[in-house]
A and B are shown apart, each in its own frame.
Chain A
Amino acid sequence: MNPWGLAPAAGALLLAPLFLGVIHRTKAVFAGRAGKPLFQVYFDLATWARKGAVYSRTTTWVFRLAPLASPAASLVALLLLPQGGFRAVFSFPGDFLALIFVLSTSRFLTVVGALDTGSSFEGMGASREAAFSALAEPVLLLCLAVVAREAGQSSLSGIVGSLTGADWQRAGPALVLVAASFLAILLAENARIPVDDPTTHLELTMIHEVMILDHGGPDLALLTYGAALKLWALGALLTGLLLPGPTGPSLLGGVVFLTGMLVLAVVIGIIESTIARLRLDRVPQFLVGAGAFAVLALALVMR
């Protein structure tokens, strides 16, 4: 256990909604709009937190569990995640499996909560989320396996930041493939374009948004915050894997990491502004393509 790891985790708690704000602002700039304030997500969260919640009589405790599970799981994920040169609070061999497990537990509870409402729309979203995540999860695992193999470590704290310029020279193509694949999975896991459109208002095309339709007030705030934390966690993992930054806490490491996150948010914003959403039946193809990249990368590093 490394108590110093709490510092970046606390930073993530503060900055995760801002990450969304940067994405929104990038999209607004591309669309030629002034856009929402950068801190709009914080205002939204504060507004929802002050409201009361309304529960349908058809729902049970399962429905109320989902909004608690989502930020809780993201919190645990943050504790397992090394960020900005700091080691994670908890690190042990194979902890990347625990990270994936925690994230999928939260998704499972969100899906079950959506099914609990008995609404056909929510059932539809739940089935889509389950189907796509079943495809996305093995790819994420493969990506992490490639990097773990390349770094020769089996703990996230060892993997992140251990890739040096020499590794990039030796296994550059494989690492680029992993990065592309990981980015695709990041977009799919966090319900971003091209897999899901976070701003859509048509229930028939929603995936993640439709599952949280019946949550209101503090519950919605918790779910949105949990989703923002998850986006931050996966983004931090991608940035950490790609940047051959200095290990150990240092000002430089933190600055490099935060710059990386900023660039990532802008990249996501650019992707969302420039490519259209995929038709739902093309999403599996997108994920299989990402999987093909990951397998290719694995074949390249195992050879």
Chain B
Amino acid sequence: MRALLDTLMVLLTFTNLRLLGLSRINASIRTVAAQGVLLGFVALAAHAGHWNARILIVAAVGIAIKGIAFPVLLFRALRAAKIRREVEPFVGYIPSVLAGMAAFLISLWVAARLPLPGGPASDLIVPTALSTMLVGLLLIVSRKKALSQALGYLVFENGIYVFGVGVAYEAPALVEMGILLDVFVAVFVMGITVFHIAREFDSIDTTRLAALKE
């Protein structure tokens, strides 16, 4: 099981690096969806051997929302915004990938010094969770389009989810479902907001929103 978890963690890190290097937003949405599906499998793999209805439901709902519902909502927002790629982010793609690598190395270092009760199922869970959060934050601050920033927010949330699955074995299903619902609503609202920004200003470049003040 550890080998499977390790593989999933490496795949997650791969999706992170891919997101940092991608400029086409539709490919980014698909990558985030793939990441969501991977998370469902992480939940299953982390609890291998003692599956119960709670874990199966959380994993299935997670995969359905992150792998299907989010891409549908985001693709709708993308069509409304009539854009195809992130143009000139604040941090270029190659520096972003390098920063993602650095984030992973820092996370490895931090994770080795982080005392956790119980010990996670795989040594890689905590570093991957931390680096996924860092990558999400990096996407939020370094990209200009509102949609890319929404994707960054999702990646950040995915990082928290990995941490929760790997470390807090017994989070109540109610809490996990509540978080999923929150994220779902957030993405829903972000989709509508992106649509309205695009309709009002013909652009979802957030740097131009700074010019709105009187």
Contacts and interface: CB of A to CB of B under 8 A. Distances in A.
A289 B17 contact: yes
Interface in A124-166: none
A284 B101 contact: no
B93 interface: yes
Interface stretch (B2-10, B25-33, B37-45, B157-165): B2-10
A299 B104 contact: yes
A292 interface: yes
Interface in A159-176: 169-170, 172-174, 176
B6 A296 contact: no
A292 to B, nearest CB: 5
B93 A285 contact: yes
Interface in B74-107: 93-94, 97-98, 100-101, 104-105
Contact of A299 (B6, B21, B93, B105): B105
A203 to B, nearest CB: 27
A266 B10 CA distance: 27
A301 B9 CA distance: 14
Interface string B39-63: 0000000000000000000000000
Interface in B99-157: 100-101, 104-105, 108, 112, 123-124
A172 B6 contact: yes
Given A173-B6, A303-B123, A296 B97 contact: no
Contacts of B17: 289, 292
Nearest to A284: B94
Contact of B7 (A173, A285, A288, A295): A173
A211 interface: no
Category for how many chain A residues contact B: 10 to 19
A100 to B, nearest CB: 22
Contacts of A268: none
A64 B75 CA distance: 58
B7 A172 contact: yes
A129 B11 CA distance: 31
A300 interface: yes
A211 B164 CA distance: 55
Contacts of B108: 299, 303
A177 interface: yes
Interface string A260-289: 000000000000000000000000110011
A296 B10 contact: yes
B101 A296 contact: yes
A41 B61 CA distance: 56
Contacts of A176: 7, 10
B87 to A, nearest CB: 15
Contacts of B10: 173-174, 176-177, 296, 300
Contacts of A288: 94, 97-98
Contacts of B98: 288, 292
B92 to A, nearest CB: 9
A170 B100 CA distance: 25
Given A177-B10, A303-B108, A292 B3 contact: no
A176 B9 CA distance: 13
A296 B104 contact: yes
B15 interface: no
Contacts of A285: 21, 93-94, 97
Nearest to B9: A173
B33 to A, nearest CB: 20
Nearest to A286: B21
Nearest to A295: B101
Interface centre among A285, A289, A292 (most CB of B within 10 A): A292
B3 to A, nearest CB: 6
A283 to B, nearest CB: 11
Contacts of B21: 285, 289
Interface in A167-190: 169-170, 172-174, 176-177
6 contacts: A172-B7, A173-B9, A284-B94, A289-B21, A296-B10, A296-B101
Sorted nearest first, the 8 A-B pairs with minimum C-beta distance are: A173-B10, A292-B101, A173-B6, A173-B7, A288-B94, A292-B17, A295-B101, A288-B97
Given A169-B3, A174-B10, A300-B124, 6 more contacts: A173-B7, A291-B101, A293-B14, A296-B13, A296-B104, A300-B10
Interface of B: 3, 6-7, 9-10, 13-14, 17, 21, 93-94, 97-98, 100-101, 104-105, 108, 112, 123-124
Interface of A: 169-170, 172-174, 176-177, 284-285, 288-289, 291-293, 295-296, 299-300, 303
